[in-house]
Amino acid sequence: MKKIRQLRCVECDSTYEYGAVDYTCPSCGMKGILDVEFDYDAIEASGFGKAALASRTEQSIWRYFELLPVEHRESVPSLQLGMTPVYRFPALAAKMGIRDLWIKDDGRLPTASFKDRASAIAVARARETGYSEVACASTGNAASSLAGMSANTQLKAFIFVPATAPEAKVAQLLIFGANVLLVDGSYDQAYGLCMDASREFGWFNRNCAINPYLVEGKKTCGLEIGEQLGQDPPDWVAVSVGDGCTIAGIWKGMKEMHRFGLLSRLPRLLGVQATGSGPITRAFDAGTETFTPEVADTMADSIAVGQPRNAVKALRAVRESGGTMVNIEDGQILEAMKLLATDTGVFGEPAGVAAFAGIRAAIANGTIGPNERVLHVVTGNGLKDVKAAFKATGDPHRVGLSLDDVREVVASTTR
């Protein structure tokens, strides 16, 4: 079965045969991001659909193999990927003033972030197209996920990250055996250096900003939402936004599940950026697809992107869904980290809970109403950035060996 029909440029609408172009549109250059268009009729004719999925026991992203840009099962990583849990928290929903709240915890993936979905596709495609070396630039999570997936598939990884990346993320890179290049500069500068080096040395480029197939890995989150909540979907799906490809991918996955009859209706998207790194939100508010690059300034390193390269896909996804975008302050992110963990037991890193902070802001300004139901995707585990967690919580109680010290602490606690 030929499952991919063609590639289409989001900038000029030019189309290309599958396999004819590796990365961006030849006519538009680096700004010409391509979209992978599948032949859904052929996929449906092959037997894929609601009944087929119901009969499958494999609980991973590969249960959607017909909808992924990979040709051979033996190319994929052997690590367990996908089908992360969705939790319902009615008490917290009531506390927040909404009808229902679900949390999908992608911090449970192999390297503890959503980016594993894309990196799994990256290494599979690298193997199928004859590469032995892969590279990416990242603020941390894409880097650690590529390093982990490369270790699993015996590929050599070159990772470019800003020198300000959290220690835990750098430690993951090193323990997975990646070649780590700490760049004295911003993410955007690390990205530029990675692009130059990939061309120079002929590495497979995992950067979602130019590699059209990586969004197809990210859409698996939306595919899972379609199965997990298909007959009773939320009104909103809230997603933290940096480069833009995560929210675009989730939307594409949900649309596909709707196309195949698993998702009864499409939710609206709530895209959330940090105020210090919110060019896509500002473009959304201005009603344009053109953003103004800025210097990213936020503690949420995984969405600290001042020059997002998938802004067009993100903006189109949010608008098509009938949703909206919001910017939030770093202080709101810290509050969200503590509230989410304290009230649910789900520990997210700053970027992983930015969308939760956005939900609270959207409730406060009336965008999300009291009778609406919301799903928040936690995109990264809190252990990725423990310094931020300490900022959110404060210091622990320090006691001596006397029970009186313990009594004093107990008396001072409110919970």
- Mean pLDDT of the region 230-243: 95
* Residue 123 and residue 150 in contact, taking contact as beta carbons nearer than 8 Å: yes
pLDDT in the model for residue 130: 95
Average confidence score pLDDT of the chain: 94
Residues constituting the chain:
415
What does the pLDDT look like over 209-224, one tens digit per residue? Answer: 789 999 999 999 999 9
The overall longest dimension of the chain from CA atoms, in Å, is 75
Dist CA 169 CA 148 (whole Å)? 11
Calculate mean pLDDT across residues 61-83. 96
pLDDT, tens digit, 9 for 90 and up, residues 173-193: 999 999 999 999 988 899 899
Q: How many domains does the chain have?
A: 1
**Which pLDDT belongs to residue 390?**
86
pLDDT at 121 exceeding the cut of 70: yes
Distance of CA 15 to the CA centre of its chain: 27
pLDDT class for 387, splitting at 50, 70, 90? confident
Encode burial over 50-88: b for 16+ CB neighbours within 10 A, e otherwise.
eeebeeeeeebbbbbbbbbbbeeeebbbebebbbbebee
Reported as a pLDDT band with limits 50, 70 and 90, residue 412 is: confident
Three-state secondary-structure class, residue 62 = helix
Question: For residue 118, is it within any domain?
Answer: no
Would the pLDDT of 137 be above 70? yes
Give the model's confidence band at 333: pLDDT under 50 very low, under 70 low, under 90 confident, else very high. Answer: very high
Which of 238, 246, 182 shows the shortest CA–CA distance to 208?
Answer: 246
CATH of the domain at 221: 3.40.50.1100
pLDDT at 394: 84
* Domain coverage including residue 221: 86-109+215-393
Domain membership flag for residue 329:
yes
Strands across the sheet containing 156-162:
179-183, 156-162, 133-137, 204-205
Asked whether the beta carbons of 232 and 200 are under 8 A apart, the reply is no
The residue assigned the tokens 């055996």 is 177
- Average pLDDT of span 166-172: 86
Q: Looking at the domain assignment, is residue 294 inside a domain? A: yes
Residue 169 lies in a domain: no
Give the contacts of 74 (CB within 8 A, at least 6 positions apart).
none
**Within a domain: 48:** no
Q: Is residue 71 part of a domain?
A: no
For 40, other C-beta atoms within 10 Å of its C-beta total 16
- Write down the pLDDT at residue 188: 83
Beta bridge partners of 238: 270, 376
- Average the pLDDT over each of 156-160, 330-334, 387-391 and give the range with the smallest value: 387-391
Examine the pLDDT at 29 and tell me if it is beyond 80.
Answer: no
Query: In this predicted model, which residue has the larger pLDDT, 141 or 16?
Result: 16
What residue ranges in 57-141 does DSSP mark as E strands? Answer: 86-88, 100-105, 133-137
Can you tell me the mean pLDDT for 146-155?
A: 96
Whether 233 maps to a domain, the answer reads yes
Predicted pLDDT of residue 1: 64
Mean pLDDT of 327-332: 97
For residue 41, the model assigns a pLDDT of 97
191 in a structural domain:
no
Among 84-88, 252-256, 340-344, 403-407, which stretch is predicted with the lowest mean pLDDT?
403-407
The whole-angstrom separation of Cα 312 and Cα 32 is 10
With H, G, I as helix, E, B as strand and everything else as coil, classify residue 29. helix
Contact 178, 161 (CB under 8 A): no
Alpha helices in 46-166 (DSSP H): 50-55, 90-96, 116-128, 141-153
% of the chain at pLDDT higher than 70: 99
Give the residue carrying structure tokens 């910017």: 327
Q: What percentage of the chain carries pLDDT values higher than 90?
A: 82
Contact 340, 355 (CB under 8 A): no
